Structure 1
Amino acid sequence: MSAVLARRPLGPGGVEVTELSFGGAGIGNLYAPITDEQAATALDHAWDAGIRYFDTAPHYGLGLSERRLGAALRGRDRSSYVLSTKVGRILEPADEVHGDDLADGGFAVPRTHRRVWDFSADGVRRSIESSLVRLGVDRIDVVFLHDPDHHAEEAFREGYPALEKLRSEGVVGAIGAGMNQAEMLTRFVRDTDVDAVLCAGRYTLLDHAALAELLPAASERGASVVIGGVFNSGLLADPRPGARFDYTEAPPELLARARALGALAEGHGTTLRAAALAFPFGHPAVASVLVGIHTPEHITDAARQFGARVPDEFWQEARTTGLLPSWVPVPGDVRLGDVRPGDVRGEVRS
């Protein structure tokens, strides 16, 4: 029997997601190949852990993640789970296949296609049509504009209105944007009618940039925030020398801080992983935490850590020792009114 995870609304549109969700980059062969069977087994474990929200993108493995996710979910009650994918990169067949995608995209797959940035209205529709085929479904619940960092004008002028129209037509259930920064996501929340945004790496035990403007704006506008990258590329999962932070080797001061948080967690009978997964839910705008892992063992561990209680005393001591700023909200906190956005600096990473 599958475990049951709590669900939260993803904005006002009626889509509900489990608080723990599955990120599909790993099953797209991020950094290293896995087999179709391994991907299917990982997704089965995620399902058994109670996860019912699955996120993917054409970018992940040049469509491989979408195909594997669709195959693994085929035959399951479509109304029981939520799918999100992304738009902004059109996959066009390569003239010739030379090598793999590791250097270009970071995925261990043959370079059968090339990515073309396209946030136009036509590009959005074409991307969704292709994703529907790869996923093998007749609808997508959530669509995010994917990494429009250098394409803001087109994304706001054409991409977002196209998604809004598709939402009004009932083609998609919820819309938003997904990025590794908080600033442009704040603009989406304030200047458009997005249901949700996906913010990767900018609201963790080590990085509180999203608290400056994004999270307060989301609360004010009734939008939800999905938090990805809660382990900051691995540093908060296993803070050993050489661990990565934001895809590169962690600087010594961040490694020391992560290790201190880990020691504090152990002293309170919990783990750094459990604290990292719990931390985002200190803010009411957060709807789900996305974990991008793809082995059955890691999925089982993530579900176990997510379900573990992190004692209030851990959060209190983290504040009193300066490992967490006193103004950062934590789970169970009732002091959100004390959080002053002017006190929060996006460079809080040291």
Structure 2
Amino acid sequence: MNPTETTTIGNVRVTRLGLGMAPLGGLFEAVGDDQARRTVDRAWELGLRLFDTAPLYGNGLAERRAGAALQGRPRGEFALSTKVGRLLRSGGGDAQDIWAEPSGVTPVFDFTRDGVLTSYRESLIRLGLDRADILHLHDPDDHLEQAIDEALPALAELRSQARIGAVSAGMNQAEALVRLVRTGLLDAVLLAGRYTLLDQSGGDELLPACAEKGVAVVAAGVFNSGLLADPHPGARYDYAPAGAALVDRAFAIQEVCHRHGVPLRAAAIQFPAEHPAVTCVLVGARTPAEVEDAVRMAAVPIPAVLWSDLRDRGLIA
């Protein structure tokens, strides 16, 4: 996989590897403005040109840090994606305990037309930019009908006005994304954690549907919150400590990778990109060193026999 090779989502040009910015919002541990800036700067230096953020990440911190790092860059040379579906407000909402740095606001779900337009407007203020290139509906799991009836048409309208370049939806599950794909209004989906070495459920129905409809797939959460980056007891899987069976499975996958001289992290990043429906891969990073590692791992040559060995052992579908 060439991490700096370019492709398109809708009419938006992106690199095959993008920087996921949830960690820069202080996911699990504090990052700070300076470290966030240096992380984005290093991604730019290494040729990454897709940057993904959201109001939820650090309750506004990640968007502010993304904007501070990107405002001085030539606007036509990078693609920025952010998300709608949550408004940041003081008091109430879902504070979540995964963000280590307080921002003074908490997210409140809102998939109404007005809520989506307000969310986008407020994101641009935090970013200090004139537009986002890709706008994702973010986690509409419990609001799916309203997302289809109100939010998605609002995003399509923004696209028709050239205020965004592509309409997408981002979720941690595949089933609801299939419904959204079938509306015919999406240019892309962001699938987090459901097409990885540990979970290929997104390949059952969603990825074939995307291929049929010409919808780009952005694969995210490729380390499943860390277990596939560094398997060990207590490692996180989907934001919580992984169970023993999952840890054992990750170790088994790692053993096969090592037999072929391939780091597990390289296989985790490149596995989703092997599917023809997957356009690009997002990897979260909180330090310049983590960005460097992701770019290096994305470029490691992986023999086809590695994937067949994992299948033969029943470790991937």
TM-score, normalising length: structure 2: 0.96
Matched, 1:65 2:57: no
Alpha-carbon distance between aligned partners in 2 of 1:175 and 1:102, rounded to the nearest angstrom: 26
Matched, 1:185 2:182: no
**Which 10-residue stretch deviates more, 243-252 or 119-128?**
243-252
Name the structure 2 match of 1:110.
Answer: 102
Per-residue deviation, 1:249: 2.0
1:249-328 alignment to 2 at 5 Å? 249-325=241-317
Superposition CA RMSD, Å: 1.7
Alpha-carbon distance between aligned partners in 1 of 2:247 and 2:119, rounded to the nearest angstrom: 40
Tell me, what secondary structure is at the counterpart of 2:308? helix
Per-residue deviation, 1:105: 4.9
Alpha-carbon distance between aligned partners in 1 of 2:59 and 2:81, rounded to the nearest angstrom: 16
Per-residue deviation, 1:316: 2.1
> Deviation per CA, 1:310-335, whole angstroms, max 9, x where unpaired?
1122112212222223xxxxxxxxxx
Per-residue deviation, 1:4: 7.0
Name the structure 2 match of 1:159.
Answer: 151
Per-residue deviation, 1:177: 0.7
Contact conserved, 1:226 with 1:288, CA < 8 A, in 2?
Answer: yes
Alpha-carbon distance between aligned partners in 2 of 1:5 and 1:310, rounded to the nearest angstrom: 17
Tell me, what secondary structure is at the counterpart of 2:54? coil
1:60 is aligned with what amino acid? Y
Q: Which has the larger radius of gyration?
A: 1
Name the structure 2 match of 1:7.
Answer: 6
Per-residue deviation, 1:145: 0.6
Per-residue deviation, 1:123: 0.8
> Deviation per CA, 1:53-81, whole angstroms, max 9, x where unpaired?
00001111121111110110121111000
Name the structure 2 match of 1:119.
Answer: 111
1:9 is aligned with what amino acid? T
Contact conserved, 1:4 with 1:49, CA < 8 A, in 2?
Answer: no
Contact conserved, 2:3 with 2:298, CA < 8 A, in 1?
Answer: no
Alpha-carbon distance between aligned partners in 2 of 1:108 and 1:94, rounded to the nearest angstrom: 18
1:139 is aligned with what amino acid? R
Name the structure 1 match of 2:88.
Answer: 91
1:204-283 alignment to 2 at 5 Å? 204-283=196-275
Change (3 A) 1:231 1:183: same
Alpha-carbon distance between aligned partners in 1 of 2:254 and 2:188, rounded to the nearest angstrom: 31
Alpha-carbon distance between aligned partners in 1 of 2:249 and 2:100, rounded to the nearest angstrom: 32
Contact conserved, 1:224 with 1:286, CA < 8 A, in 2?
Answer: yes
Contact conserved, 1:144 with 1:177, CA < 8 A, in 2?
Answer: yes
Change (3 A) 1:104 1:4: closer
Contact conserved, 2:219 with 2:278, CA < 8 A, in 1?
Answer: yes
Q: Percent identity?
A: 51
Alpha-carbon distance between aligned partners in 1 of 2:235 and 2:31, rounded to the nearest angstrom: 22
Per-residue deviation, 1:114: 2.8
Per-residue deviation, 1:110: 2.4
Alpha-carbon distance between aligned partners in 1 of 2:26 and 2:102, rounded to the nearest angstrom: 11
Contact conserved, 1:198 with 1:227, CA < 8 A, in 2?
Answer: yes
Tell me, what secondary structure is at the counterpart of 1:109? coil
19, 44, 47: which one aligns with 1:47: 44
Name the structure 2 match of 1:37.
Answer: 34
Alpha-carbon distance between aligned partners in 1 of 2:310 and 2:107, rounded to the nearest angstrom: 43
2:156 is aligned with what amino acid? E
Alpha-carbon distance between aligned partners in 2 of 1:281 and 1:111, rounded to the nearest angstrom: 35
Tell me the number of residue pairs that the alignment of Structure 1 and Structure 2 aligns: 316
Name the structure 2 match of 1:194.
Answer: 186
TM-score, normalising length: structure 1: 0.87
2:20 is aligned with what amino acid? G
**Which 10-residue stretch deviates more, 63-72 or 246-255?**
246-255
Contact conserved, 2:196 with 2:268, CA < 8 A, in 1?
Answer: yes
> Deviation per CA, 1:274-294, whole angstroms, max 9, x where unpaired?
001110112111111111111
Per-residue deviation, 1:254: 1.8
> Deviation per CA, 1:197-223, whole angstroms, max 9, x where unpaired?
101000001101101110000000000
Alpha-carbon distance between aligned partners in 2 of 1:276 and 1:312, rounded to the nearest angstrom: 14
Name the structure 2 match of 1:333.
Answer: none
